[in-house]
Structure 1
């Protein structure tokens, strides 16, 4: 039996080197920013799913919820009697309330088991209030679940599960009952928040808007927020914003970054990464462990027993490593060429990049995810 341990690359093979070609393309303002105050709100509720085919849960809070529901319908379950209801499951319900949503509109909802229910397939969610962070009810949910997962179990206890059968969705399963007040029509300005904070991009957004509307119409608060003077009339403000969000802006180039995914062996090198003059060599060490068990047989008619004696041989080999040199102000294309010439594996490239960063030769932020 031979066991080989290679101390060089235990990561998944794969190396991605991204290189931007040509100038940065202009983006619409609506793709770079979000309007301050125009946001969604999270809703959550607790309810019961009924009609399950014996795949419900047996949690104590499920029985308590079931009793409370029966009491609301005028049915009293005697104290000390715990009904066995394996077709009922306690669930949490959550949804996202989009901006400007009006009463009477419908939302998609997600229903998740919070007990030990095996599956929600075939179940129906009973009327469940959905509350916001202020503990106010903003929607009512009810309907039949659509469950993508399923499972099967044999009499011997073996089972198989595909996807997650304890989570389902109900398209248009909630009706909005209360509107959220939006600050969109308040004040004399509209504020845009950049998705990625950058002083250069904020400056270019201000210049683009002022170039279209006139000087002094837009000004930046910081690297994220840009305010624009806007009309007070709601209809005019909608048209005004429609014009602004389609203006094209050249975003600033990203900061120099090298991103390493240690789980998959993926490496992404940004365009602005530079390397100071440095010479690099990286060797591979291989340890081989060989087991050759031997059987010891005593002489005929001699006292003793047949035994197996271990015989282990360990060998260490180090492959010759080639040295390669990075010149001053090396560009991304030159880094790619150097890596390809050496033929380094992803694990080796990670080690080289980390060493260059420690040596101060890698002029970029090294991010390991």
Structure 2
């Protein structure tokens, strides 16, 4: 079996087509994913930048009670050197007990900064309520703040958030179905029927007919060995297989807040004529004084208004798109006009309303 897998891997490397992508870059194995963890704890050792909220005092009291330190009920333990924090981390797939993961610590009260603080032991739970890791350690805070006696304050980055590299130890492994059954499913990162068909054809061409079956635009089912070690070797061969993905759907992405416009490669424009430019109408009043030629004959001096109207069509441009106009033609025509991003957005929206833009218009 190992010799067969080695031969298949060699064939994959030698037969890699140009402009193709590795299967591991465009797919993921179904069921193999990370899991989010969250927890709550206390950061101590702050230099007067902590918080004095009620839940922080309650958490501090409970911690001291667990260590046998009894605090009278009428005494509220308050300190600016502690802060209540929320902790979150990402548990990678196949993480085993004893391994470490990074954690992010964020203040949930009115703490000014977590710089110099240390997180006390805090459990991290998953969505099922089980504890999967224990976090503890010294925080690394990139932000800092300074405050003067007159109330002025300067803050760089966010000093109320910090990280602890390798700050949590994994206590429980997440079960997965990677080694179960006689097949595995590959999910495309970007669903596409053409890409799914090509992946199945490439695998079948390598392993034989009916080894892979495209289930839909996202999933491809592949027959796999039942033995765990053989399945790992088998998947290492598949993930290095090169496949040419299908072309993306024609899209035009518009960010109205930043003025960013992204036009996809396959965008086409139907025959249409577009004009761009403003129409300026200037009206001016120039009064004229009219005096009679013979004042002794009883004539009067009058003021006669004279109105002047000027029409300026500006730098109006009209350009025409023929059948099958491509992205390059569209960009060149728009650049010649010299429109601003806002004007280009209006043109693209008008094209879509007119049915001349052969693409999906997405406004974010």
1:285 is displaced (CA, Å) by: 6.6
Q: How many residues align?
A: 321
Asked if 1:242 corresponds to 2:236, the answer is yes
Q: Which residue of 2 aligns with 1:300?
A: none
Give the Å deviation of 1:25: 2.1
* Bigger radius of gyration among the two: 2
Of 243, 249, 252, the match for 1:258:
252
CA contact (8 A) 1:24 1:251 kept: no
Give the CA RMSD over aligned residues: 1.8
Shift of 1:188: 0.5
SS in 2 for 1:319: coil
Structure 1: gaps of 5 or more residues: 1-22, 289-314
CA deviations 1:217-266 (Å, max 9, x no partner) are 00011110101000000000000000000000010001111111212222
Alignment equivalent of 1:178, drawn from 154, 172, 178: 172
Aligned to 1:341: 336
Distance 1:118 1:359 in 2: 54
TM-aligned CA distance change 1:318 to 1:119, over 3 Å? farther
- Give the aligned partner of residue 284 of structure 1: 278
The answer for the alignment partner of 2:135 in structure 1 is: 141
- State the match for 1:298 in structure 2: none
Question: Which residue pairs with 1:361 in the alignment?
Answer: 356
**Helix, strand or coil: the match of 2:103?**
strand
Offset, 1:282: 2.2
Partner of 1:203, secondary structure, is helix
- How far residue 317 of structure 1 moved from its aligned partner, in angstroms, is 7.3
Determine the C-alpha separation between the residues in 1 that align with 2:318 and 2:187: 48
Per the TM alignment, residue 201 of structure 1 is displaced from its structure 2 partner at its CA by 0.5
Once structures 1 and 2 are overlaid, which stretch shifts more, 53-62 or 328-337? Answer: 328-337
1:214 aligns with 208
Match of 1:4 in 2: none
- C-alpha deviations, 1:48-100, integer Å up to 9, x for none? 00000001111110000001001000011101211221100000111100011
8 A Cα contact 2:60 2:77, kept in partner: no
Q: TM-score, normalised by structure 1?
A: 0.84
Distance 2:73 2:262 in 1: 64
User: Equivalent residue for 1:64?
Assistant: 58
1:328 to 2:323 alignment: yes
Q: Is the 8 A contact 2:204 2:212 kept in 1?
A: yes
Give the structure 2 partner of residue 36 of structure 1. 30
For 1:249 and 1:287, locate their aligned partners in 2 and report how far apart those are by CA, in whole Å. 60
Q: After superposition, what is the alpha-carbon deviation per residue over 1:26-48, rounded to whole angstroms, capped at 9, x for unaligned? A: 11000010000111011111000
The TM-score normalised by the length of structure 2 is 0.85
The C-alpha deviation readout for 1:176-223, integer Å capped at 9, x for no partner, is 111111210001001000001111110000000000000010001111
The residue aligned with 1:226 is 220
Shift of 1:318: 6.2
Q: What corresponds to 1:188 in structure 2?
A: 182
| Bigger shift: residues 213-222 or 319-328 | 319-328
Return structure 1 stretches of 4+ with deviation > 6 angstroms: 285-288, 315-318
Q: Deviations over 1:145-201 (max 9, x none)?
A: 000000000000000000000000000100011111121000100100000111111
1:108-138 CA-partner distances (Å, limit 9, x unpaired): 1000000000000000000000001110011
Distance in 1 separating the partners of 2:170 and 2:281: 65
- Residue among 48, 51, 56 paired with 1:54: 48
Larger deviation: 41-50 or 338-347?
A: 338-347
* C-alpha distance in 2 between matches for 1:75 and 1:286: 82
Unaligned runs of 5+ in 2: 1-16, 283-309
Partner-residue secondary structure (3-state), 2:172: coil
Of structures 1 and 2, the one with the larger relative CO (CA 8 A, separation 6+) is 1
